[in-house]
A and B are shown apart, each in its own frame.
Chain A
Amino acid sequence: MSSADLISESVAKQAAEARAHLDEHTVKTVQWHFDERTGSPFWLGKKRELKFDPLRDVKCFDDLKKFPLFEDDWLRGGPISRWVPQGHAGKPVYVFETGGTTGTPKSRMVIEDHWKDYELFSETLPDKYFPKGSNWLMLGPSGPRRLRLAIEHLAQFRGGICFCIDLDPRWVIKLIKKGWMEHLEEYKKHCIDQAVTILTSGHDIKCMFATPKLLEGLGEALEQRGTSIQEIGITGIFSGGTEFTPQWTRFAVEEMLGGPVEEGGVFMTPTYGNTLMGLACGKPISKADGYKISYYAPQPRAVTEVVSFDDDSQLVGYGETGRVKLYTLTDEFFVPGFLERDEGEREAPYDTYPWDGVSGVRPYHKLASSTTVGVY
């Protein structure tokens, strides 16, 4: 199908403007990261290995393809300070980790990116379901995770207070690998019990983040107590995880959240993200659309592409399947193309997000068997 069939004239115009903005933002970001005065020791060191001069030769977003692919193994081990742009020297720095079940985890430094990403995300949340000033529950991983602080900031940014649970995802992965399924079930109960305690303690919580599995567990626990997510007072949920399938979404909407939001059910919005990129927003889900889940990155701060399995420099056609490639273009962190462990279908721009999206995100089929999905 040609893009003209999928994209209206007005969206095409918006898309062209967004692209021009992305090109401009790309050049500015590259100038920042490769300038001797502002760049990080890591990228200034890498610059010497490149066969081109990023300061001179990157004139648009597509020029990022001149860079070798970002390798997330570069993020293992220290010193973490090599990633801090000198232009931000002296500012307080957070470190967020991914995975880390065995060996040295991958670390990403952050100064304010997680705040900015979630402030932008906040604009996409409907106040009707995520009322300003209401309190939040963060039903997800604790520890050195970006998500935990980001959700807390989101709650505070919207004038609320965030309640959290203790959840160590590394222990969860170990339980699964050891085959200790009874322990896994007990640990999940332990996490859900904490959430139920918070929700039933009079804190007037209306909004929450939850991973699909934990949301499912919470729904079950509340129903066993004769109540439900809806009855306990939750009106808006944002959820994330690669196991977020249309079928799961349908189950959640139809059987757990009191039906479609138009019929009085709890509002749920899916998101897709990681420590490298931040988070991509979901196009509103509907039964009419087969509960299809499409994500759009917060361009120009981050970009997702769906590229050919055989050639990561080639985009697949709209509706076609490929591997998810992401870019991070903030003044704190620079990722000029990273092949995610996920695949999906390329989605066309639309008026809310006039740039490419990705739908049907799932583990990349060649890596799927080695991917362990935990409770979160």
Chain B
Amino acid sequence: MITLSPLRWGKPYESLDFIDVVHFDTGEPIAKIGTVGGGVVTRDLRQAEKARDALLEVPIAELIRMCGQAAELFQSADLPVGDKLQSVDDFVHQQSASTGLPEHMCRSNMQKNAFVLANMEQILRCLTRGLDLSILSRGYGDEGRGAIVSFQAQTPILGAVLPNNSPGVHTLWLPAIPLQIGLALKPGSQEPWTPYRMISAFIQAGVPAAAFALYPGGHDTGGALLAKCSRSMIFGSAQTLAQHAGNPRVQAHGPGFSKILLGDDVVDDWESFLDVMVESVVVNSGRGCINCSGIWASRHTREIAAAIAKRIGPIDVTSPQDPEAKLAAFSNPAMAEGTYAMIKQDLAEPGVTDMTAEYGDKLIVRKHCAYLRPMVLHADSPDRGVAMKEYMFPFVSVVECPQQEMLRRIGPTLIGTVITRDQKFIDAAARCVEIDRLNVGPIPTSRLNWLQPHEGNIIDFLYRSRAYQIAEVPAPLTASR
């Protein structure tokens, strides 16, 4: 069995406390993780400047080259992870076994992470709008417009409290390294695999080990990380988002409430967009914030819901090794049961219909895990509670709403795919502050262009643009006498 140890600025630490990572279906332990408490985190973070100092020794261009090499290593090499050498297949089996994600989805997430690493130069160019990246290292520089520009790092390291069940989100913290910002990560207890393997790949590629810390642990550990890092990310629920709202030190990532809006000009032709809608709902087992949880149209909503239900309603539980598997397990059965109970409450409201009712039982409970099979609910008005819900499985509500009310009623929307040719509607969507990423046209909500910022630009989060003036200091008067 593999044992993962905390990493304290590049040095493995043999903890005396361990938690077991268990197989989602059998409950058998598959790994042991050594944990540390908040005290260790607090103590180490006092040395955070050293992590940045180590990265500043390496030019950004060189770090970008190392990212490319790390991408290759991450997705193809045997890497030292914990006390074992881990192959790609080991990684995929382990991640699937602890998270309940089908193996082909684990491979797909692995590719997504590697893609971001491999394309880091372009991504940073886009995120910085073409800034000469040495300006970030030096703190100031001249872009050729005759004025100094200055970007000041707001933190020597980026902290992150990582999720248990979403291996795709790790793309968000990867750019920190080429930006010469160290990383202090608290891995999720069921998904330690990506951060451990990724950091191993970085180190093997030549990034200074002193730039990395991994702190597996409990709430106390995460709390210390958030309290002591000047900039950190956390992944959680709507409550997590609310808890950190307005805190400039914490970037909270939670439910996305991503949506597809069909304009009146195209809605009669809705069948043309069925593939886009289905992919947006079902890809990655509907687990991400970028999955579509609401499809809004002014008419044909029952037909749309029925057509999606016909496509995804029959999806059933299969082996995680099945290359066609579409459903991930809930490794905590109580979470699936709780989710299903909430959906039953949603369905109790008049005007809400389960369009997948004819496709059999939805909640499949096993001894150590549970599954929720896809559900499509129809809501006859945006007033229905389900219009604002997101659940972590292939679930969507198809909401009937006049076009002129949509942008006013949709609420927070991480990805908004607006399918229309109506320029006025497009312009209004562009102005709608509820939408974070805007897709105009039939683009699945789940297909991200990594050359554009996601949920806040990490450059803006880690750096502050500021004024910087320089004047020559005259020679000392005493010297001229």
Contacts and interface: CB of A to CB of B under 8 A. Distances in A.
B43 A220 contact: yes
A216 B220 CA distance: 12
A52 interface: no
A250 B226 contact: no
Given A247-B15, A291-B16, A181 B243 contact: yes
Contact of B35 (A223, A247, A250): A247
Interface in B439-462: none
Contacts of A219: 39
Given A247-B36, A247-B37, A248-B37, A255 B43 contact: yes
A226 interface: no
A246 interface: yes
A246 B36 CA distance: 11
A83 to B, nearest CB: 36
Contacts of A255: 39-40, 43
Given A179-B243, A251-B40, 20 more contacts: A179-B239, A181-B223, A181-B226, A181-B243, A182-B247, A213-B220, A216-B37, A216-B39, A219-B39, A220-B43, A243-B220, A247-B17, A247-B35, A247-B36, A248-B17, A250-B16, A251-B36, A252-B39, A255-B39, A290-B16
A251 B35 CA distance: 12
A247 B35 CA distance: 8
B38 interface: yes
Nearest to A362: B17
B42 interface: yes
B227 interface: yes
Nearest to B242: A179
A291 to B, nearest CB: 6
A179 B245 CA distance: 12
Given A251-B37, A251-B39, A185 B227 contact: yes
Interface in B1-42: 15-17, 35-40, 42
Interface of B: 15-17, 35-40, 42-43, 46, 220, 223, 226-227, 239, 243, 247
A348 interface: no
A256 interface: yes
Given A181-B226, A181-B243, A245 B16 contact: yes
Nearest to A220: B42
Interface residues of A, number: 21
28 contacts: A179-B239, A181-B223, A181-B226, A181-B227, A185-B227, A216-B39, A220-B39, A220-B42, A220-B43, A243-B37, A245-B16, A245-B17, A245-B37, A247-B16, A247-B17, A247-B35, A247-B37, A248-B17, A248-B37, A248-B39, A251-B37, A251-B40, A252-B39, A255-B39, A255-B43, A256-B39, A256-B43, A291-B16
| Contact residues of B: prevailing secondary structure | helix
Residue among A181, A243, A247, A248 having the largest count of chain B Cβ atoms under 10 Å: A247
A188 to B, nearest CB: 9
B38 to A, nearest CB: 7
Nearest to A292: B16
Contacts of B220: 213, 243
A290 B17 CA distance: 11
Nearest to B244: A181
A248 B37 CA distance: 7
Nearest to A178: B243
A341 B227 CA distance: 29
A155 to B, nearest CB: 26
Contacts of A250: 16
A223 B46 CA distance: 10
A290 B18 CA distance: 13
A297 B266 CA distance: 76
B361 to A, nearest CB: 28
Residue among B16, B17, B227 having the largest count of chain A Cβ atoms under 10 Å: B16
B243 to A, nearest CB: 5
Contacts of A213: 220
Given A179-B243, A181-B227, A255-B43, A246 B16 contact: yes
Contacts of B16: 245-247, 250, 290-291
A223 B44 CA distance: 13
A338 B114 CA distance: 55
Contacts of A245: 16-17, 37
Contacts of A251: 36-37, 39-40
B386 to A, nearest CB: 26
Contacts of A179: 239, 243
Contacts of B227: 181, 185
Contacts of B36: 247, 251
Contacts of B46: 223
A328 B339 CA distance: 44
A223 B42 CA distance: 11
A235 to B, nearest CB: 21
Residue among B35, B39, B223 having the largest count of chain A Cβ atoms under 10 Å: B39
Interface string A216-250: 10011001000000000000000000010111101
A304 B239 CA distance: 40
Nearest to B249: A182
A179 B227 CA distance: 13
Contacts of A182: 247
Contacts of A243: 37, 220
B15 A216 contact: no
A181 B43 CA distance: 19
Interface in A282-300: 290-291
A137 to B, nearest CB: 19
- What 7 pairs across the A-B complex have the smallest Cβ distances? A247-B17, A247-B16, A246-B16, A216-B39, A179-B243, A245-B17, A251-B39
